[in-house]
Structure 1
Amino acid sequence: MDLFLLAIVAAGISLAMAGAWIVQRTTGMSGWIDTIWSAAVGLGGIFTAGCAEGPFSRRMTVIIIVAAWALRLAGHIGVRTKGGGEDPRYAKLMRDWGASASSRLFIFLQVQALAAFVLVFAIYLAAINDKAYPAVTDWLAVLLAATALAGETISDAQLARFRRRPEARSEVCETGLWRYSRHPNYFFEWLFWCCLPLFAVTSSPTSLLSLLAPALMYWLLVHVSGIPPLEEHMLRSRGDKFRALRKRVNAFFPGPRKSEFVSQGE
C-alpha cells in the first residue's frame, strides 16, 4: 500500500474543500460546495488509480468509470447552482449555526474531505487489485456502474422536468422513477459506490475495506446529509402533500407503491 500517495491525495482533497469554503463565503452559493466535492473525489480517484500499481486494464476501467461519475455529478450540480437558488440543506445549517456559521462550515467541509478520502481509498483498492483482468466481478462492476449512472441521470432529468412546471412549487414529484422511490437519485448514487468492492475484491482481507465506500455513502444519504434535511425541508414547504407521499412511496430503495397494495387488499 502506497501510504505516501494516499497522504498526497488526502492533503489535496482537504485543500479542495478549504477552497470550497472560500467559494461559498465569497459567493453565498452553497451549491458550489457539492460541485467542488464531486470534482475532488473524481480527480483524487483518477490520480490515485493512475499512480497505483495494478493491472493497466483494470486501472483504466476504474478511471473511466470514476471520471464519468465525477463529470456527471459535478456538471449537474454546477449547472443547477449557476441557475440560481440556494441549497435548502446548507441554508438551514447556516441559520442554525448563527454567528459561528463561518468557522463551523469550515470544520464541516473538512469532515466532508475525510468522507471523500474514504471513497478515494476504495478506488485505490480497486486499482491495486492484481488478479487477472477481466474477472466476472469486473464485468458485474461495470454493469452496476453503468446502471447506476443511467438511473441517476434519468431521475435527475425527470426531477428537472417536473420543476419546470408552474405548479412544482406546491406539488411533489411523483413521475417516472420518482413513483417508486422518494429519492431515486440518492439510491442510484449509493448503487454506484457498490461497484468498487466488486473491482477490489481479492483473497486479501484489506480488499474488504472497499466496503466502507457504499457503507459510508448509505449512512450519509439515508441518515445524515441526504434524506433527513431534504425531507424536513419538503415537510415545511409541501406539508400534507409530502406526508401523503411518504405513506405510499419508499424513502430510498425503489419498490411497489404502498397504496397499490392497500387497494388490492380492500
Structure 2
Amino acid sequence: MIENLVHIILTNAAAVFAFFSIAWIISLVTRDASIADVFWGLGFILVSVLTFILYMGYDTRAIIIMTLVIVWGLRLSIYIFYRKRGKGEDPRYTAMRNKNPKSFWIISLFKVFWLQGLLLIIISLSAQIGIAGQKPAKLLVTDFIGIVIWLTGFIFETVADIQLYVF
C-alpha cells in the first residue's frame, strides 16, 4: 500500500513539474509570468484526477475528495483568470523581471513555476492520501463533517472573491 502511494505521489510530482514547465513556456511566449497563478488551481485538479486514475479504487470517498478538489480548483483558476484579464503581468512578477531582465526567463522557471509546483505537491498530499490511502469502506460522520467544513470554506472564499472583484 505504501509503495503504491509513493508511486502515485512521485508520478504526480513528475506530472506537476511537466504541467508547470508548459505554463512556463507559455509565459515566455506571452511575457506574462502571472499565468502561473491561473495554473495553480488547475494543478490541484491535475493531481486529484491523476491520483484517482492511478489509485483505481473507485470508492465513494475518493470520488467525493476528487470532486471537491475539482470544484475548488476550477473556482480558483476561473476567478484568477477573470481578475487578471486585460491587466497585464502581476506586479510581483514584473518587479522580478525588471530586477533580472536578462536572466528572468530561467529564474522564473525555478522561483515561480517549479516552486509553485513543489508547493502544490506538498499542499495536495492530504488530498492524494485521502484519495489513494487506506480508509474505512463506508463513509463516516467525520466525512460528512469534512464536506460541511469544505462547503463553508468554499462559500466564504467565493463571497470574498466576489467582494474583491466588485470593489
1:155 equivalent to 2:143? Answer no
1:131 equivalent to 2:129? Answer no
Q: Please, which of 112, 119, 122 is the counterpart of residue 118 of structure 1?
A: 122
Q: Which amino acid aligns with 1:69?
A: W
- Structure with the greater relative contact order (CA < 8 A, sep ≥ 6): 1 or 2? 2
Rg comparison, structure with higher value: 1
- Residues 49 and 123 in structure 1, CA contact (< 8 A), matched pair in contact too: no
RMSD: 1.8
Mapped to 2, the partners of 1:78 and 1:129 lie a distance apart of 36
Q: How high is the TM-score relative to the length of structure 2?
A: 0.87
Question: Which residue is equivalent to 2:20?
Answer: 17
Q: Which amino acid aligns with 2:153?
A: A
Q: CA deviation at 1:149?
A: 1.2
1:57 equivalent to 2:26? Answer no
Name the SS of the counterpart of 1:84 in structure 2: coil
Q: CA deviation at 1:31?
A: 2.8
Provide Cα deviations, 1:177-211, integer angstroms capped at 9, x if missing partner: xxxxxxxxxxxxxxxxxxxxxxxxxxxxxxxxxxx
- Residues 62 and 126 in structure 1, CA contact (< 8 A), matched pair in contact too: yes
- Residues 52 and 58 in structure 2, CA contact (< 8 A), matched pair in contact too: no
Q: CA deviation at 1:53?
A: 5.8
Q: How high is the TM-score relative to the length of structure 1?
A: 0.56
Q: CA deviation at 1:84?
A: 2.6
Q: Which amino acid aligns with 2:95?
A: K
Following superposition of structure 1 onto structure 2, how do residues 34-53 of structure 1 map, counting pairs within 5 Å?
34-52=37-55
1:69 equivalent to 2:72? Answer yes
Q: Which amino acid aligns with 2:93?
A: Y
Following superposition of structure 1 onto structure 2, how do residues 90-239 of structure 1 map, counting pairs within 5 Å?
90-108=93-111, 109-127=113-131, 128-162=133-167
Task: Tell me which stretches of 4 or more aligned residues in structure 1 moved more than 3 Å.
Answer: none
Name the SS of the counterpart of 1:158 in structure 2: helix
In structure 2, runs of 5+ residues without a counterpart are none
Task: Report the CA distance shift for 1:63/1:131 in structure 2 as closer, same or farther (over 3 A).
Answer: same
In structure 1, runs of 5+ residues without a counterpart are 163-266
Question: Which residue is equivalent to 1:78?
Answer: 81
Mapped to 2, the partners of 1:68 and 1:22 lie a distance apart of 26
Name the SS of the counterpart of 2:76 in structure 1: helix
Provide Cα deviations, 1:4-63, integer angstroms capped at 9, x if missing partner: 322221111001111111111111223311111221221111220343265701001101
Task: Report the CA distance shift for 1:50/1:133 in structure 2 as closer, same or farther (over 3 A).
Answer: farther
Q: Which amino acid aligns with 1:81?
A: K
